[in-house]
Every structure is written in structure tokens, then in C-alpha cells.
A and B are shown apart, each in its own frame.
Chain A
Amino acid sequence: MGKGKRKVPGLNQSSTADISFILLIFFLVTTSMDTDSGLSRRLPEWNPDEVEQEMKIKERNVMTVQVNKFNEIFVKNGVINRQIEVSELKDIAKEFIANPDDNPNLPVIEPFEIEGYGTVNTTIKHVISLQTDRTTNYEIYFQVQHELSKAYSELRDAWARRVFGKHYIDCDEKTEQPVVRGVYSNKISEAEPKQYGTAQ
């Protein structure tokens, strides 16, 4: 003091690190927030030689879901052949896929060997053929896909509860879920417009 050289006290910077930490965390959180979500599907293999080949599927094993250019949905299988609303589709699909009453007009129930579990009786040969027109609206198509997925999930969940005694999502991902998926495996044929496609 007495020497005339006064030192200016420095600004306390100890909290700057904390402030920038908060900013950093904010950016980390916001960037991971816009994760993508959607409906997963697997396309059939491209095989130009097979395009002409007519698949020989018994009529009772096929359910045709047709969405025409007026976005009307028509369903045709062994027991039903009419125009429906999107909301009806799930229950119709569930009845078709599971065939709970062993109806001779719905898919054949036959023993099927599942790796790691054994033999179950299921409608392994059923096919849901989804047909659209080139001018069909995408949103309707998506809703139809979504309802069909829902039908499969609900059947899987019911089967998992009956056999493993727990919900499908609680089943073990490595051992139990593949078994359940095997019982009701996704057989939606995404064919080209106005043409029967190949089953998976």
C-alpha cells in the first residue's frame, strides 16, 4: 500500500467452469434428444428370376389387404371379404393370424419346430399380402402397417404371458423373445402394386 503499487483484486473465476459445464451438459442433452423413431420392416430380397414365379400358397393361408386409390381398405380372407375401417383391421388380422377356433377357412395350424424351444402349433404358413395403388396415400398405408404390427405384438404378448408367464417386453432378449417371434413371425408381404409378392 505504502509503495504506491496497488494490486487490483482479480475477479473470482472459480464458477466459470461450472457455468460452462452446465452449457456443455445442455448441448449434450439437446443433441441426443432428436432421436429418430419409426416402424421397422425388412424388405424381401431382390431376385429378378423369381418375379415371374407364382407362389403356390393355399387360398386359406392368404389374407389380402388392399388399399385403393380412394384410400379405402378392402380385406379378403377365408371368412371376410369387404371394405373395412382402419380400426377394424387389427382384430381381423389377429383372428386370421392366430386362427384360435381352428376354422377350416383360416390358415392351417401345424406343428412348427422352433430352435431353442421345441414344437408349437401355429399358422406358420399364413401370409398377409398388402397391396396398394400407385396413388394410395402414404399415411393410410402407414396406418395399415401400424395396425398389422399391433396385431402381431398383441398376439406375441398374449403367447408370452400364457407360456412364459410374463409380458413380451419382459422376456429375455436373447433366448425368449426370438422364440415368441418365431411363433408369430411377421409375414407381411410388401408386394409391388397390383402384384402378388413373395413370402418371406
Chain B
Amino acid sequence: MPELNTSSLPDLIFTVLFFFMMVTSMRDVEVKVQVKTPTGGSEIEKLERKSLVSHIYIGPPSKQYRAIYGAAPRIQLNEFFAEPEAIREFVSSERESMFEKDKPLMKMSLKIDQGVQMGIVTDVKQELRKARALNIVYSAGKDNKDK
């Protein structure tokens, strides 16, 4: 019986490897605000099923954007800075891209900088309520000292 020719196997796997490298770098949105999320202890849960999660970033713009946007905390949706009023549109476009059965499970991950004041957070929460995106997560890191 002739042996199977495996000389193309490395190429095949390289292709898969490149695919993964591309996909992972593409998914990252350039974060234009500085966000250092607070840390908590035992109550921090990991988010499962990334496909259900949309991110809203709130924080002071990064250094290279300060000249244009100033240092006051801003909201970032997708790639762009936005006003709280834009959240409803953002939520409905995120919802559109989901499977029908997943829509009620949509979660909004609020990546908010520690130093932000509550006013902007409250505005965002109110807009989320209006957009009927009620499942939210205050994004936070886990701090193991607390355990």
C-alpha cells in the first residue's frame, strides 16, 4: 500500500494558523479612551459567550486624541466617540447582528474608567434602559487579595 503523502500538511496547518492570527487581530477595536476598570473580589464573574457581549467604553480620551477631544471622559461605541443619545442606535445595530434566539440574552459590557464621575455613567444607563438593553455588566478585573 502506498504511504499517504504528508508533505502538504505543514502548509495546511500554516493556513489555519494564519487564519487565526488574522481573525484575532481583526476583532480588536482600537480603544481610543483610557480605561482602567476597577477591581473587585469574589463577586466578579467571567463572561461566557463573547458573541452576546457588546462593549461600551467610557473614559478620558487617550493622549493622541486629547488635542481634538479634550480630557473630559467620553463614550466610545465601536470605533468612534459618541454622545449618550447614540447608544440607542448602537444597541439596535448590535441587536440586528445577532441571532433571533440570542437577542434577549444580549449583554452590554460597560468598560468604565475608575476615575469617571457617575453623571455620564447614569446617562448611559438611562439610554440603555430606553433601548431595552437591560443586561449590563460593570466590567472589572479580579483582585485576588480579597479572597
Chain A contacts to B: CB under 8 angstroms: 13-14, 16-17, 19-21, 23-24, 27-28, 30-31, 35-46, 132-139, 141-143, 145-146, 149-150, 153, 190, 192-193
When distances are taken between beta carbons in the complex, the residues of chain B under 8 Å from A145 are: 138
Residues of A within 8 A of B138 (CB): 38-39, 41, 142, 145
Query: How many A-B residue contacts, CB cutoff 8 Å?
Result: 144
Are A193 and B140 in contact, CB atoms less than 8 angstroms apart?
A: no
Q: Of the candidates A30, A135, A139, which one forms a contact with B119 in the assembled complex, judged by CB atoms under 8 Å apart?
A: A135
Is the beta-carbon distance between B118 and A27 smaller than 8 angstroms? no
Which residues of B are at the interface with A, using a C-beta cutoff of 8 A?
Answer: 6-7, 9-10, 13-14, 16-17, 20-21, 24, 37-38, 40-47, 50, 53, 55, 107, 109-110, 112-119, 121-122, 125-126, 128-130, 132, 134-142
Chosen A-B contacts, 24 in total, with CB atoms closer than 8 Å, are: A13-B10, A16-B10, A19-B10, A20-B13, A35-B46, A36-B55, A37-B45, A37-B47, A37-B139, A38-B138, A41-B137, A42-B134, A43-B128, A43-B134, A132-B118, A135-B119, A138-B114, A139-B38, A142-B38, A142-B114, A146-B41, A150-B41, A153-B42, A193-B119
Q: Which residues of A contact B38 (CB under 8 A)?
A: 138-139, 142-143
* A37 & B44 in contact (Cβ 8 Å cutoff): yes
Interchain CB contact (< 8 A) of B118 among A13, A42, A133, A149? A133
Tell me if B's interface is mostly helix, strand, loop or mixed: mixed
Question: Once bound together, how far apart are the Cα atoms of A3 and B14, in whole Å?
Answer: 39
Q: A91 → chain B, closest Cβ, in Å? A: 15
| Contact partners of A150 in chain B: CB under 8 A | 41-43
* Inter-subunit contact A137/B137 (CB<8 Å): no
Known contacts A138-B115, A142-B38, then 5 further A-B pairs from the complex at CB < 8 Å, ordered by chain A residue: A13-B7, A28-B20, A37-B44, A38-B140, A138-B112
